[in-house]
Amino acid sequence: MKDAQKSQSIGAAARVTALASSIMDLHVRIALKEVDREKRRLISGGIFLAMGGILMLFTLLALQIILLIWMQRTFNLNIETSLLILSLIDITLAGISLRLGGYLTKGPYLPETLEGLSKSTKAVFGKPQ
């Protein structure tokens, strides 16, 4: 390669790196703005997701044993049937909690985010704006 070709490829790499850095900076700023606007919704959704996970664990560890013993004594069931019934109850409660938490954390994108993604895509593919 000649010196001119080397300097051109280094210049092109620098421009691509600067473009990528600029795009990442834009997206980080917009994402921080979205999080700042949506803190309450995200926090409450996260709480419901955590509550769903904790309920699943505590149910599997504590109530499983108590309900298993109670069901076997009261209904004279074998251990497999008792465990199946308890599992269905657990998955229903966990599903409701996770669904509610997922609904609260899902939301629309800000127009700035969509505009930034559009501009970034056009810049990367070299289309005029």
Domain definitions of the chain by residue range: 1-38+108-123, 39-106
pLDDT (tens digit, 0 to 9) for every residue of the chain, 129 residues total?
A: 565 555 665 666 677 777 777 788 887 788 777 777 777 787 888 899 999 999 888 877 887 899 889 999 999 999 999 889 888 988 998 899 899 988 876 766 667 766 776 776 666 666 665
Structure tokens of 47? Answer: 């709480």
Contact assessment for residue 120 and residue 26, using Cβ atoms and an 8 Å cutoff: yes
pTM listed for this prediction: 0.41
Query: What is the residue-wise DSSP string for 63-75?
Result: IHHHHHHHHHHHH
Contact assessment for residue 101 and residue 49, using Cβ atoms and an 8 Å cutoff: yes
